[in-house]
């Protein structure tokens, strides 16, 4: 069994995410997906719109996914060690360098091959573009003043 690992934020889940995970799943028999922790997302990108537990549940429900897990907040490679993948699938636009990942995995005693998935036409419907559209479209302004419901 070839175990594949993919990782991401998966905020405002969209078809680009689905294409990434479908293609990543083709590298092996089982797909384990690491969902970035809220703190990590805030430190690297921006505050996530959807909390980590919701993002985890959504990703875990997708057909290509064997199991989704939350990443380690301190050492991202601790999650890699726990999953022990044969392949790590990077998104087409992931800033990580394949060789650096392979080198770090080898230093930790893991034999991992890194693959990069291809770009799909609708990957332009990314989270940042979705947010920009919502913020710029007058049709959505009525929601700006809606108070959140409390449970």
Q: What are the sequence ranges of the domains in the chain?
A: 3-143
Between 123 and 109, name the one with better pLDDT: 109
**By percentage, how much of the chain surpasses pLDDT 70?**
90
pLDDT of residue 1: 95
- Orientation of helix 98-107 relative to helix 76-83, angle to 10°: 70
Between 149 and 94, name the one with better pLDDT: 94
pLDDT of residue 124: 47
Single pTM value for the model: 0.86
Averaged pLDDT score across all residues of the chain: 88
Q: 34 and 5 in contact (C-beta within 8 Å)?
A: yes
Under the banding of pLDDT at 50, 70 and 90, the label for residue 105 is: very high
pLDDT tens digits, residue range 119-147?
876 654 577 777 777 777 777 777 666 56
CATH superfamily of this structure's domain 3-143: HUPs (3.40.50.620)
What does 60-93 look like in DSSP terms, one character per residue?
A: HTSTT-SEEEEPPSS-HHHHHHHH--SEEEEPTT
């Amino acid at each position: 069994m070839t175990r594949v690992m993919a990782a991401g934020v998966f905020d405002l889940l969209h078809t680009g995410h689905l294409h990434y995970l479908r293609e990543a799943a083709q590298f092996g028999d089982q797909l384990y997906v690491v969902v970035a922790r809220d703190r990590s997302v805030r430190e690297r990108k921006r505050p996530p719109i959807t909390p980590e537990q919701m993002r985890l549940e959504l990703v875990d429900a997708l057909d290509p996914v064997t199991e989704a897990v939350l990443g380690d907040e301190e050492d991202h490679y601790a999650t890699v060690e726990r999953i022990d993948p044969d392949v790590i699938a990077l998104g087409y636009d992931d800033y990580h360098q394949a060789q650096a990942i392979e080198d770090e995995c080898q230093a930790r005693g893991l034999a991992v091959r890194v693959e990069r998935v291809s770009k799909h036409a609708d990957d332009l419907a990314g989270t940042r573009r979705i947010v920009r559209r919502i913020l710029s479209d007058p049709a959505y302004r009525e929601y700006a003043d809606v108070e959140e419901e409390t449970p």
